[in-house]
Amino acid sequence: MLVQPWDASTDPDEWRAFVVATGFGHLVAAGRDREVAVVVPTQFVLAGDEVVLHLARANPVWAALDENPAVLLSVAGDWAYIPSSWKAVGDEDPARGIPTTYYAAVQLTGTATVVDDPDGLAGVLRTQLGTYEPDGGSVDPTEHRRRFAAICGLRIPIEAVTAKFKYGGNVDAEHRLAVAERLDGRSGPGDEAARDHVLRRLGSDPLHGR
């Protein structure tokens, strides 16, 4: 992933908040000597410094992990298309603006450990349920132990993080605020999240504070 200096994020609070809020990504297992990697869309939990998830035993990812346990989890979202005219302020010609897409993307890499024993699987499922059903409304996973044969768990300690928040960091505050105001007015899918990233990275929210 190309990360320009103005898009980079080295702040764990920033990238962790995005990863936790998104909670869904693509697990990439390269395996060995394959023409293409195995890519698995999956829900996951970021628990401390590791990623926790489970998948069906029938998933093709297990063969790739047997070959090579190194994996990458790609998480992307909060995207919004920015028309060329939005890049103009004042007397600038809107036709000369350059359109782009704002988005956030985080890639987590690590060495996966397969969890297939019943107690270990129960621990993986409790971690996931504790995150997505914190009110305790679900039964304990061991109530479904007979179904454990159909799944395997994964624990992936995070070894490296690449984080990108592409929200106009290459232009001045005036131009970014102009885009944020237009995102606020359009209110399309992803616009609110993109606007919030723009303003957070500027360190203010003048649009709703006026």
Cα dihedral sign for 45, 204, 161, 29? Answer: positive
Q: What percent of the chain has pLDDT over 90?
A: 82
34 and 64 Cβ atoms separated by less than 8 Å: yes
Q: What number is the average pLDDT over the span 128-152? A: 86
Residue 6 lies in a domain: no
Residue 193 lies in a domain: yes
What is the pLDDT, as a whole number, of residue 144?
82
112 and 102 Cβ atoms separated by less than 8 Å: no
What is the pLDDT, as a whole number, of residue 140?
85
207 and 199 Cβ atoms separated by less than 8 Å: yes
Residue 51 lies in a domain: yes
- The total number of structural domains in the chain stands at 1
Q: Is the pLDDT of residue 87 over 80?
A: yes
28 and 39 Cβ atoms separated by less than 8 Å: yes
Q: Which residue has the higher pLDDT, 8 or 90?
A: 8
In 44-194, DSSP assigns E strands to 45-47, 50-56, 70-82, 100-111, 113-115, 151-166
pLDDT tens string 117-128: 999 999 999 999
Residue 7 lies in a domain: no
Residue 87 lies in a domain: yes
Q: What's the domain range around 168? A: 12-202
What is the rounded distance in angstroms from the CA atom of residue 133 to the CA atom of residue 131? 6
> Confidence band (pLDDT; 50, 70, 90) for 210?
very low
pLDDT tens string 7-44: 999 899 999 999 999 999 999 999 999 999 999 999 99
pLDDT tens string 148-187: 999 999 999 999 999 999 999 999 999 999 999 999 999 8
Q: Is the pLDDT of residue 204 over 60?
A: no
Q: Is the pLDDT of residue 208 over 60?
A: no
What is the rounded distance in angstroms from the CA atom of residue 22 to the CA atom of residue 60? 24
Residue 108 lies in a domain: yes
What's the whole-model pTM score? Answer: 0.92
Residue 5 lies in a domain: no
Residue 147 lies in a domain: yes
What is the pLDDT, as a whole number, of residue 207?
47
What is the rounded distance in angstroms from the CA atom of residue 175 to the CA atom of residue 171? 6
What CATH number should be reported for the domain holding residue 140?
2.30.110.10
